[in-house]
Chains A and B, each alone.
Chain A
Amino acid sequence: MLVDLAQNLLNGLMTGMLIAIPAIGFSAIYAVLRYPNFAIAAYATIGAFAGWWLNATFGLGIVWIILIAFCVSGLVGVAAEQVTLARLRPAGALTVAIASIALNLMLENAVRFLFGNDLRGFDLPIQPDWRILALRIGPQQVQNMLLSLAIMAALFLFLRYSPFGKAMRAVADNADLARLKGINPTRIAVATIFMGAGLAGVGGVLLGLDTSIDPMTGARILLSVFAAAVLGGLGSIPGAVVGALLIGMAEEVSLLAFPATYKTAIGFVAILLMLTLRPRGLLGERAL
């Protein structure tokens, strides 16, 4: 029993590390541009398919796949949002959110049009699980976790020390003040979307490495990503990471008590509880 719990917590930690990457992307876009971006699902799917295609066609290694998938979904995101969402921003967050749902529908179906509905897996050697004490752990999962950690570290350094990262945090903190200080809001918006959509794409790749991909890959994790972001506090990047780890673990531990088909409902319950009891999230700002 205790072993089961420990095993599920371990699995949850690893799921959480995967959800954290797109959740950071979602939160970054929310922090700077102030709308919940539903198209994050399609960006994750696009990244996953870009990575899969590179792997299947050129046999590229994992680091290259992640870098290129980041750029592909980042560029798709920038192009799509500049064309379809940028001009709607003055109309308010809700309008942009609804438009992002329409955008998500278009992008998801573009993937479906090109690749069909079939499940696809990355061409990776199958390795037996390691056994540590009584716990099972897959080499692939460990690799994903390390990749996820490396990405988070790079992101942290970027936001903390690069001029662009600093400007991004300034806009997130106080957009008007940032503009007065001479920070160009359009450039920051574009950079944020590139980063956010790119991270979603990388999340898609990591999920694809773990299981398999299809056009719904992104849509299936959307609720978990939202839950992670809401739990940590919308717009807070450290919050998104904490939220993702908590959601990942809650989802896996729930398997001990509920049928696996209810796993995605955990995210919803977490959102509902958090918003009812502490709307600003664990590390976030006011929600009222």
Chain B
Amino acid sequence: MLSYLLFTLTIGGIYALLALSLNLIWGGVGMVNLGLAGFFAVGAYATAIVTGAGAPVIVGLGSALLASAIVGLLVTYGTLRLRGDYLAIVTLGLAEVIRLIALNERWLTNGADGMSGIVAPLRSTVGSQAFNLGYLVFVSAVVILMWLLLRRLDHSPFGRAMKAVREDQELAGFAGKPVLRLKLQAFALSAAVAGLAGALYGHFQSYISPDHFQPLITIYIFLAVSAGGVGRPAGAVIGAYAVVAFLEGTRFVAELLPGVDPLQAAALREMLVGAALLLILHLRPQGLLPERIQPARKTRP
């Protein structure tokens, strides 16, 4: 029971990082990234490959950040000028292609069998229970740090310029903000955070395969950010833990239903996820913690 709790909270922390990543781009510049699961995968594979070749874990984490940011930049470089719905289509396709690459390039990713034996730092010396506890503390610390950083970013000139682009990019451009560069920077940063989440996931699970990075994860994170409140880092974090609690809770409930086989139970759970997202968009689009918009400073007459 304790190890189940530790596991769930760690996954909650990893989802919280993904939610912070989505919130940065969606709540920040108003673009959606439907390829979140793909960047998550890039981070996980990057660290698995680099540490598998003998590099220390910290280098693995760094390469995960870098690889996801580069993939994000490469793919969106030509398409960021376009309207948001185009970017949605591009990023959705990207996640699928990343999964295909992970499935097919066996020399790099070991294909459908996945990569096992990813270094779990210190697990062999401290034992698996202590590792799980320590890893939870580590992931939670990363979440808190990232939350503080992104909250700070929101109040910085960069964050304000981002939100100006979100509200009206023509006006922001007219006011001299480098719209395209802001979008690229925000997207790269957001992709990097998702990649970091992937790397943490890889070192936690020790095993990754293309099946771990289904598009469903992206929908979970959209649910988390909409539930918590788009544009508010604290909301994204709380939303992510709430979604993990919701997923785990519905797992137990679905098993209790009479006459429903496991496949049907899984289908029901996913229907509930979809319904929850729709309900939030209808009933409380601002989320649990609505975005706080600072009033403009009064100018003296």
Inter-chain contact B104/A268, CB cutoff 8 Å:
no
Q: Which residues of chain A have C-beta atoms less than 8 A from B274's C-beta?
A: 102-106, 109
Whole-angstrom distance between the Cβ of A98 and the nearest chain B Cβ: 6
Which residue of A223, A230, A279, A287 contacts B96 across the interface (Cβ within 8 Å)? Answer: A223
Q: Which residues of chain B have C-beta atoms less than 8 A from A98's C-beta?
A: 32, 222, 226, 277, 281
Which residue of B32, B77, B86, B278 contacts A102 across the interface (Cβ within 8 Å)? Answer: B278
Which residue of B34, B88, B267, B282 contacts A113 across the interface (Cβ within 8 Å)? Answer: B267
Inter-chain contact A109/B270, CB cutoff 8 Å:
yes
Which residue of B77, B84, B96, B219 contacts A268 across the interface (Cβ within 8 Å)? Answer: B96
Chain B: interface secondary structure? helix
Whole-angstrom distance between the Cβ of A109 and the nearest chain B Cβ: 4
What is the CA–CA distance of A105 and B100 in the complex, to the nearest angstrom? 21
A contacts with B, residue count (CB < 8 A) = 47
Interface string of A240-271 (1 = CB under 8 A from B): 00000000000000000001011011011001
What is the CA–CA distance of A67 and B274 in the complex, to the nearest angstrom? 29
Query: Is A275's CB within 8 Å of the partner chain B?
Result: yes
Which residue of A110, A223, A261, A287 contacts B104 across the interface (Cβ within 8 Å)? Answer: A261
Q: Which residues of chain B have C-beta atoms less than 8 A from A183's C-beta?
A: none
Whole-angstrom distance between the Cβ of A217 and the nearest chain B Cβ: 15
Inter-chain contact A102/B82, CB cutoff 8 Å:
no
Query: Is A99's CB within 8 Å of the partner chain B?
Result: yes
Query: Is A84's CB within 8 Å of the partner chain B?
Result: yes
Whole-angstrom distance between the Cβ of B121 and the nearest chain A Cβ: 34
Within residues 94 to 114 of chain A, which ones have a CB less than 8 A from any CB in chain B? 94-95, 97-99, 101-106, 108-110, 112-113
Inter-chain contact A230/B78, CB cutoff 8 Å:
no
Q: Which residues of chain B have C-beta atoms less than 8 A from A222's C-beta?
A: 92
Query: Is A93's CB within 8 Å of the partner chain B?
Result: yes
Interface centre among B82, B92, B100, B278 (most CB of A within 10 A): B278
Contact A109 B89, CB 8 Å, known A259-B104, A275-B82: no
Which residue of B79, B90, B96, B271 contacts A264 across the interface (Cβ within 8 Å)? Answer: B96
Query: Is B182's CB within 8 Å of the partner chain A?
Result: no
Contact sample, A vs B, 29 pairs, CB 8 Å cutoff: A84-B278, A87-B282, A93-B83, A94-B85, A97-B88, A99-B278, A99-B281, A101-B277, A102-B219, A102-B274, A106-B278, A109-B274, A112-B263, A112-B267, A113-B268, A223-B92, A223-B93, A230-B86, A262-B104, A264-B97, A265-B100, A268-B90, A271-B90, A275-B86, A275-B90, A276-B77, A287-B83, A287-B86, A288-B82
Point out residues on B near A: beta carbons under 8 Å: 30, 32, 34, 75, 77-79, 81-86, 88-90, 92-94, 96-97, 100, 103-104, 216, 219, 222, 226, 263-264, 267-268, 270-271, 273-275, 277-278, 281-282, 285
